[in-house]
Structure 1
Amino acid sequence: MDNKILSHNQIKHKTERIAYQILEANIDEQEIVVAGIKGGGLVFAKKIIKILQKITDSTITLCQVTMDKKNPLESGVTTSLAESDYRDKSVILVDDVLNSGSTLIYGVHHFLKTPLKQLKTAVLVNRNHKKFPVKADYKGISLSTSLNEHVRVELNGKSDAVYLD
């Protein structure tokens, strides 16, 4: 069943809007760290970075966040940057879909161990039934879905799309 929620052009537009919102909230920052959660979040973070680099002279730094999404508590969270590289900076934690909130909350927890100027979250799709008290500061689309529905995000270049299965 082809239940497309967002087309390639809609994703492009929403990504641009999120990038501008991030810039507005960080207009005086010399550096913004965009931390993408490995998988779809990292791909989405790179798309955001591409736009940010066109619209600001600030340094935009990519940070890869790695965790076992099924068991983040035991696997722990690691980043491609040393703690000193994001200390006292503005960090945007990015994922493709906010489902239960567990991935984002463990990512947020990791970054909160370090003094930051600010920490915000960005997702392409925000599902409205979370198990954890985490919200997306920047979101492409919010969906009220049932628990047995699945959001599938395909970010592969020329045919990006979001589906509800």
Structure 2
Amino acid sequence: MGKQRTIILDKERINWKLQRMAYQVWENYSNEKSVTLIGIEGSGTIVAKSLARRLKEISPLQVETIIVKLNKRKPVSDEISISEDLTGKAVVLIDDVANSGKTLLYALAPILRYEPKKVMIAVLVDRRHKSFPITPDIVGHSVSTTLQEHIDVETEGEHITAAYLQ
């Protein structure tokens, strides 16, 4: 018998959460001319692109989206590279879920080497029980879990369609 999955966000609620997150990014970066959204490869990139589209609709911000690639299972095994110079830029690091906090922590390290002007972290779903000291600034949905539970998202193309607790 497999693990039981409980839906915590459906497609409609995900859209509401992403729209609210875009407004929160705009609110936090309203004094900036531009913002760089850094999506963690995979579903984090989908969230980043969705926020970029929404920000372009609601704000005058110039929005750049880039991808950070890393091995989520073993982030120390590969060099994490970012192809853009982030020196002095306003940045938002984005992932779909903050499960343990490990992926976000390892993705943040190379960003900080560039000495950006400002860095915030945004996630669609934040799992409260983390193993690493990462607290996202912008959260679509927060879930209290046990240490054994996990949050998983489903995607179709460039869209996140559901989030599950398992």
TM-score range, shorter chain: over 0.9
> What amino acid is the match of 1:14?
K
Comparing 9-18 with 144-153, which one deviates more in the overlay? 144-153
Q: Residue 158 and residue 100 in structure 1: after superposition, are their counterparts in 2 closer, same or farther (change >3 A)?
A: closer
Paired residues, what number? 162
Provide the rounded CA distance (Å) in 2 between the counterparts of 1:28 and 1:117: 12
> What amino acid is the match of 2:146?
S
Match of 1:20, SS state, is helix
> What amino acid is the match of 2:6?
N
> Which residue of 1 is the match for residue 33 of structure 2?
30
> Which residue of 2 is the match for residue 140 of structure 1?
140
Unaligned stretches of 5+ residues in structure 2: none
> Which residue of 2 is the match for residue 82 of structure 1?
84
Match of 1:145, SS state, is coil
> What amino acid is the match of 1:28?
N
Provide the rounded CA distance (Å) in 2 between the counterparts of 1:159 and 1:109: 26
Unaligned stretches of 5+ residues in structure 1: none
CA RMSD of aligned residues (A): 1.4
> Which residue of 2 is the match for residue 160 of structure 1?
161
How far the C-alpha of 1:54 sits from its partner, in A, is 0.5
> What amino acid is the match of 2:27?
E
Contact preservation (8 Å) 1:44, 1:155: no
Provide the rounded CA distance (Å) in 1 between the counterparts of 2:53 and 2:155: 14
> What amino acid is the match of 2:112?
L
TM-score (norm 2): 0.92
**1:5-24 alignment, distance < 5 Å:** 5-24=8-27
Q: Residue 129 and residue 7 in structure 1: after superposition, are their counterparts in 2 closer, same or farther (change >3 A)?
A: same
Match of 1:72, SS state, is coil
How far the C-alpha of 1:33 sits from its partner, in A, is 0.2
Match of 1:74, SS state, is coil
> Which residue of 2 is the match for residue 72 of structure 1?
75
> What amino acid is the match of 2:84?
A
Match of 1:53, SS state, is helix
> Which residue of 1 is the match for residue 117 of structure 2?
117
Match of 2:119, SS state, is strand
Comparing 151-160 with 68-77, which one deviates more in the overlay? 151-160
Where is the helix percentage greater, Structure 1 or Structure 2? 1
> Which residue of 1 is the match for residue 131 of structure 2?
131
How far the C-alpha of 1:163 sits from its partner, in A, is 1.1
Contact preservation (8 Å) 1:101, 1:130: yes
Task: Tell me the percent identity.
Answer: 35
Q: Residue 144 and residue 100 in structure 1: after superposition, are their counterparts in 2 closer, same or farther (change >3 A)?
A: same
Provide the rounded CA distance (Å) in 1 between the counterparts of 2:102 and 2:73: 9
Contact preservation (8 Å) 1:68, 1:76: no
